[in-house]
């Protein structure tokens, strides 16, 4: 069997051990394990990295503690507006969607956009029309309702402030960038990346972050790497983070680790941008850099153990 590798994330932020209960930590570990297993099963059987990243992100979207799919945060209007994107490193084909409210698995919609729409990026209610026409599973507002997210929204909904997931939660100091993602290398040597998010609590005005933006939140190219980001999206857009790492490898000759460290721990820090990302290259090297206290993450190389981590 040829080698394969996979990494996932469930968001970065001020995730501190002393604020976590043992029970919650176990739940997060379970969510990460289920997702990486869903992706790895596909890779192990010789399936494509594209199928693997989609399967892992669907699992993360269905797990209600992460801010994507079920578990997405509430907007200012009390809705859920989700964004997602996926990219195939072999063909450089990509699909992306923003501001959909009733699609159970936005990453699956992004995949179908890539394959059947003739476009890369669809948005809003009209994108839901496309999902409906494609027979993609829709879900009502009640599916996306979770008590914890509702309570987070209630705390801030009468203000003009928004929360980056749990950001600025006064009693805990917690600050979390709620996004999920997966990158994978399959046995055929192909890379893929996928990212999905429920955005920011109390967000207004149809704000779009980096998650659905090819080059910013998601990028994959067999020649260089596959990347999925999580962080303060406005900075990640301006820094074109995912493609920047690819260019540092392709044009400047940096290694995956050098490129990741430079962008996340130097460039983004100088911009005042918090977050992290997961990265993989065609050799199966995996990097999971972040400049916050924690990032929910798991990774596995074929023939090795699965690693699950939350803190630094």
In the complex, least distance from residue 146 CB atom to its own copies, rounded to whole angstroms: 23
Q: CB atoms < 10 A from the CB of 270, how many?
A: 8
Residue 158 buriedness (CB in 10 A; 0-12 / 13-18 / 19+): exposed
Would you say 293 and 14 are in contact if contact means Cβ atoms under 8 Å apart?
yes
**What 3-state DSSP class applies to 84?**
strand
Which 231-290 positions form the footprint of its own copies (CB under 8 A)? Answer: 233-234, 237-240, 243-244, 247-248, 251-252, 271
In the complex, least distance from residue 77 CB atom to its own copies, rounded to whole angstroms: 8
Would you say 104 and 231 are in contact if contact means Cβ atoms under 8 Å apart?
no
Closest to its own copies by CB, 10 or 231: 231
Query: At 163, phi and psi to the nearest 5?
Result: -120, 135
Which 62-121 positions form the footprint of its own copies (CB under 8 A)? Answer: 87, 92-94, 98-99, 117-121
78, 148, 206, 304: residue in contact with its own copies (rule CB under 8 A): 206
Distance of alpha carbon 158 from alpha carbon 136, whole angstroms: 35
21 counts as catalytic = no
171, 205, 272, 303: residue in contact with its own copies (rule CB under 8 A): 205
Number of residues lying near its own copies (CB under 8 A): 44
Closest to its own copies by CB, 162 or 177: 162
Closest to its own copies by CB, 162 or 290: 162
In the complex, least distance from residue 259 CB atom to its own copies, rounded to whole angstroms: 10
Would you say 260 and 161 are in contact if contact means Cβ atoms under 8 Å apart?
no
Residue of 37, 75, 91, 179 marked catalytic: 179
Angle of the 49-62 helix axis to the 22-44 helix axis, nearest 10? 160
In the complex, least distance from residue 165 CB atom to its own copies, rounded to whole angstroms: 16
Q: Does 291 bind its own copies (CB under 8 A)?
A: no
Residue 305 buriedness (CB in 10 A; 0-12 / 13-18 / 19+): exposed
The 114-153 contact track toward its own copies, x by CB under 8 A, reads ---xxxxxxxxxxx-xx-----------------------
Closest to its own copies by CB, 139 or 247: 247
CA distances from 117 to 131, 208, 217 (A): 10, 21, 21
Query: At 235, phi and psi to the nearest 5?
Result: -70, -40
Would you say 161 and 202 are in contact if contact means Cβ atoms under 8 Å apart?
yes
Reported as half-sphere exposure (CB side, CA atoms, 13 A), residue 189 has a value of: 4
Q: Which residues bind its own copies (CB under 8 A)?
A: 87, 92-94, 98-99, 117-127, 129-130, 162, 204-209, 213-216, 219, 233-234, 237-240, 243-244, 247-248, 251-252, 271
Active site residues: 179
């Amino acid at each position: 069997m040829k080698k394969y590798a996979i990494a996932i994330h469930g968001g970065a932020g001020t995730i501190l051990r002393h604020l976590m209960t043992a029970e919650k930590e176990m739940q997060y570990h379970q969510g990460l394990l289920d997702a990486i297993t869903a992706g790895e099963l596909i890779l192990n059987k010789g399936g494509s990295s594209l199928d693997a990243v989609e399967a892992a992100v669907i699992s993360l979207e269905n797990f209600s503690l992460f801010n994507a799919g079920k578990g997405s945060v509430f907007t200012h209007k009390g809705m859920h507006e989700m964004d997602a994107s996926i990219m195939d490193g072999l063909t450089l084909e990509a699909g992306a969607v923003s501001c959909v409210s009733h699609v159970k698995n936005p990453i699956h919609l992004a995949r179908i956009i890539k394959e059947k729409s003739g476009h890369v990026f669809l948005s809003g209610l009209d994108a839901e029309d496309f999902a409906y026409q494609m027979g993609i599973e829709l879900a009502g507002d009640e599916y996306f309702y979770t008590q914890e997210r509702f309570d987070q929204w209630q705390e801030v909904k009468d203000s003009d402030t928004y929360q980056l997931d749990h950001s600025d939660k006064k009693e805990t100091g917690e600050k979390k960038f709620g996004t999920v993602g997966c990158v994978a290398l399959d046995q055929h040597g192909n890379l893929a990346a996928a990212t999905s998010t429920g955005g920011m609590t109390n967000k207004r005005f149809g704000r779009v972050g980096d998650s659905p933006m090819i080059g910013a939140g998601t990028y994959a190219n067999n020649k260089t790497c596959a990347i999925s980001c999580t962080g303060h999206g406005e900075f990640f857009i301006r820094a074109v983070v995912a493609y920047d790492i690819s260019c540092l490898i392709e044009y400047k000759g940096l290694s995956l680790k050098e490129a990741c460290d430079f962008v996340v721990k130097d460039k983004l820090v100088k911009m005042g941008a918090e977050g992290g990302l997961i990265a993989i290259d065609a050799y199966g090297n995996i990097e999971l850099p972040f400049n916050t206290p924690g990032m929910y993450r798991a990774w596995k190389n074929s023939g090795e153990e699965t690693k699950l981590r939350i803190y630094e």
